[in-house]
């Protein structure tokens, strides 16, 4: 497993738990040293226990030396970053560099599958094959495969161990059989294994994430319409979700989508469409709707609190979703910027994401928990629906605030209760 970021480390630990011997390789010596000591470089519930268990029993190894990991491997998985470039395309330099380095280590007489685990554009497997053919020694025996991940931050271990499906893209039956053998423990769960060609496999991840983004933006547009018509988006979403053709997931109105996957993958697939003269207008529209969510929350705040200049505004939550410390493309980033533009003084709290957020906004005032955060605040916004923030003592919150103005960006608290407590309250679509 080349790369010990979110995808690589979670996948490596889970494969080790399946009983395979796994070498996790990374050029970051400090990260490898920390992993050897049992220190996890990011927050993911249960991952520390899984790493400690499998590292301790000798199935999970860590090294900075690629050759050490590649030599005994039957499958080499590439799980390095593919960050977006300015035009939205995925930056493939890290994937291709690993592929080139692995190609130099291939030896005649051995068969290996070189597999992309990172989310990569359609055509990556073809390009990897060309590059390996031009780099490797004569007579090497290998196949290139695609095995996209579908891990949700905060519940990635469960997603890996009990997935909705496993997607494997190959060109040969030999590679397909070897890749399927990695997931043999899932056969007891009757997990669907989708075996397909390389191009379809590479597109499935993008298409899936783009669809979820569209679904989120759709319910947010319905929330805006509900506000105009006097309807309730929470009841609307529940009724829609009871339709088996629609499903209840990702129908929660609020601040929209963020994180490391949906924003990046929607941009990338839109760029793919443009490059192939197939405009993806529905996905482009979903991206536009999402960009408007944080400004919409600030508009709601100004409607209740008036001018924000000189006012103290508390943000409850910074991570883009609960159970992660990830703030990439998080709505909180846009909220802080917009509030500061209006002259507000922002203070924030989060159970896990403070350190990662301060890497983006180092001068943000941080409070030790929600009650300290709202002390003396002129207004508060519930940004991330962490479990501890879903059952706050709202009377204590009200009494500690300078002015009880509360924007519930995740529709957690009932409007009638909040207003009966004396809050100037608003949410999305209710």
Catalytic residues: 261
Phi, psi of 143 (to 5 degrees): -135, 155
User: Cα–Cα distance between 389 and 384 in angstroms, integer?
Assistant: 8
Helix (H, G, I), strand (E, B) or coil at 151: coil
By the 8 A CB rule, do 63 and 21 touch?
no
- For residue 63, what are the β-bridge partners? 25
By the 8 A CB rule, do 258 and 268 touch?
no
Handedness of CA 81, 85, 88, 92 (dihedral sign): negative
**Structure tokens of 64?**
């900075």
By the 8 A CB rule, do 163 and 183 touch?
no
What are the CA-CA distances from residue 330 to residues 195, 296, 353, 394 (Å)?
34, 15, 11, 25
By the 8 A CB rule, do 61 and 24 touch?
yes
Helix axes 93-105, 124-135, angle to 10 degrees: 40
Q: How many Cβ atoms from other residues are within 10 Å of residue 152's Cβ?
A: 13
By the 8 A CB rule, do 63 and 102 touch?
no
Q: What is the spatial order of strands in the sheet that 424-426 belongs to?
A: 365-366, 345-349, 312-316, 379-382, 405-408, 424-426
Q: How many Cβ atoms from other residues are within 10 Å of residue 112's Cβ?
A: 20
By the 8 A CB rule, do 71 and 110 touch?
no
User: Cα–Cα distance between 374 and 313 in angstroms, integer?
Assistant: 8
């Amino acid at each position: 497993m080349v790369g010990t970021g979110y995808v690589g480390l979670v996948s490596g630990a889970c494969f080790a738990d399946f009983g395979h011997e796994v070498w996790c390789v990374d050029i970051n010596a400090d990260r490898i040293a920390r992993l050897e000591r049992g220190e996890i470089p990011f927050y993911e519930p249960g991952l520390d226990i899984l790493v400690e268990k499998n590292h301790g029993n000798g199935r999970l190894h860590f090294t900075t030396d690629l050759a050490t990991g590649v030599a005994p491997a039957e499958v080499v998985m590439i799980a390095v970053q593919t960050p977006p470039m300015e035009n939205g395309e995925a930056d493939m330099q890290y994937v291709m560099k690993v592929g080139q380095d692995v190609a130099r280590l291939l030896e005649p007489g051995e068969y290996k599958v070189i597999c992309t685990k990172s989310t990569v554009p359609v055509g990556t497997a073809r390009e990897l094959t060309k590059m390996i053919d031009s780099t490797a020694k004569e007579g090497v025996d290998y196949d290139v495969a695609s095995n996209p991940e579908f891990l949700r931050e905060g519940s990635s271990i469960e997603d890996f161990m009990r997935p909705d499906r496993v997607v494997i893209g190959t060109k040969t039956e030999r590679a397909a059989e070897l890749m399927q053998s990695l997931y043999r423990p899932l056969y007891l769960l009757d997990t669907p294994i989708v075996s397909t060609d390389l191009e379809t496999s590479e597109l499935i991840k993008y298409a899936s994430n783009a669809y979820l983004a569209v679904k989120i933006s759709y319910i947010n547009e319905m929330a805006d319409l509900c506000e105009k018509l006097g309807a309730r988006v929470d009841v609307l979403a529940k009724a829609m979700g009871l339709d088996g053709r629609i499903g209840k997931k990702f129908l929660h109105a609020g601040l929209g989508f963020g994180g490391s996957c949906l924003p990046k993958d929607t941009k990338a697939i839109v760029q793919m469409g443009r490059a192939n003269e197939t405009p993806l207008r529905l996905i482009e529209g979903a991206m536009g709707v999402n960009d408007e969510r944080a400004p919409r929350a600030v508009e709601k705040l100004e409607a209740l609190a008036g001018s924000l200049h000189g006012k103290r505004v508390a943000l409850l939550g910074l991570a883009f979703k609960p159970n992660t410390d990830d703030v990439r493309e998080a709505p909180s980033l846009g909220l802080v910027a917009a509030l500061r533009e209006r002259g507000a003084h922002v203070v924030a709290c989060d159970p896990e994401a403070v350190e990662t957020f301060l890497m983006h906004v180092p001068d943000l005032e941080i409070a030790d928990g929600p009650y300290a955060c709202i002390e003396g605040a002129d207004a508060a916004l519930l940004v991330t629906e962490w479990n501890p923030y879903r059952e706050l003592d709202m009377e204590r919150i009200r009494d500690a605030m300078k002015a009880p103005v509360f924007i519930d960006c995740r529709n957690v608290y009932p409007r009638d209760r909040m207003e009966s407590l004396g809050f100037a309250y608003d949410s999305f679509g209710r």
